[in-house]
Amino acid sequence: MSNERSALPSIGKVISWLTAAKRVLIIFHESPDGDSIASSLALANILWKRGISADLVCRDPVPQVFCFLPKVEVVKNDFILADYDVLCTIDCGDSNRTGFPERVKKFARTKRRLINIDHHLKNDLNKIANLNFADSRAAASAELVYQIVLGLNARIDKNIATLLLTGLFTDTGGFQHSNTTPVVYELAAKLVARGAQLQRVSKNVSLKKTLPGLQLWGVALSRIWRGEGGIVASLVTLRDLECIGADADEIAGAVNVLNSIPGAKVAILFQEMSNGKIKASLRTEEDGVDVALLAAYFGGGGHRKAAGFTVDGKLVPESGGGWRIALT
């Protein structure tokens, strides 16, 4: 890792708070992806090795595609605030994405030991947290957790190495996105040398698809349309999931296929959710496009090349064969 990355100013305080903690709560974002899940599990594994009690929480279930990760079965979906003296949010982007925004804010006010570990651009969570360990130059939160691992002088076994590699792999699109820097390759090599199972990660994340999942992708690809300015978009509805028998998380990654279409400058995948919301995933590989700004306009967030937002509404078919978003 470069000296610039390894000298993040708050690392000493992060280590101090974690080693002094009696019980740590780790929250990763709702609708979790590989980086948020794997980075959180990696940090928890390190704390457990040091004899520090740590719990992992996510508002939503872990997608089936990531159930191969070691110890993933310990993730909970709720918590009692009073049980913890340090709270770490990992890869959340903003307080709403924690799934527990009011409890997170209360913890920061009352216990004053909220650590925000993230590689997203600055947002309200950066202001709420009592300590920020954040760097938007990092390709994944796994890079930052790795720095904490080094600060704790922890031994990286094959499970922890595989977890950290999963975070890198997923947030770089299998080392294909433009955020795949020399730092990423250097860290990936170190993790593979420590026993990280790259083939297992690649097989589960990129290649392992269920039949309903593939059929759902087929529906999304059959609805691709081009808009002005290089926009390429598609959608899936709740009805699609019901008819096919697919899980909502099985559409993850399809937006990257839209983004690969020649001439595409911005790819958008709209997904109707069971909670009465529409989730939009945005991707680009254009250096002059910042999809995080578009997502922020609708209350979302993310990175320049990958972002998302949700709105209240539903997808409604039109007589001409098209679709419209009916906001509620």
Range(s) of the chain covered by CATH 3.10.310.30: 211-327
CATH superfamily of 3-205: inorganic pyrophosphatase (n-terminal core) (3.90.1640.10)
Could you read off the pLDDT tens digit of each residue along the chain, which spans 328 residues? 433 344 465 899 999 999 999 999 999 998 899 999 999 999 999 999 999 999 999 999 999 899 999 999 999 999 999 999 999 999 998 898 899 999 999 999 999 999 999 998 777 898 999 999 999 899 999 999 999 999 999 999 999 999 999 999 999 989 988 889 999 999 999 999 999 999 999 999 988 888 999 999 999 999 999 999 999 999 999 999 999 999 888 998 899 999 999 999 999 999 999 889 999 999 998 989 999 889 888 888 778 888 889 899 999 988 777 888 888 8
Between the two ends of the chain, the Cα-to-Cα distance in Å is: 47
211-327 has CATH 3.10.310.30 classification: yes
The DSSP string of 62-122 is: PPGGGTTSTTGGG-BS---GGG-SEEEEES-SSGGGGS-HHHHHHHHHHT--EEEEE-SPP
- Report the C-alpha gap between 141 and 277 in whole angstroms: 27
- Report the C-alpha gap between 328 and 326 in whole angstroms: 7
SS3 280: strand
Picking from 93, 59, 52, 94, the residue whose alpha carbon sits closest to that of residue 75 is 59
Range(s) of the chain covered by CATH 3.90.1640.10: 3-205
- Is 149 in contact with 156 (CB distance < 8 Å)? yes
- Is 139 in contact with 184 (CB distance < 8 Å)? yes
- Report the C-alpha gap between 259 and 317 in whole angstroms: 24
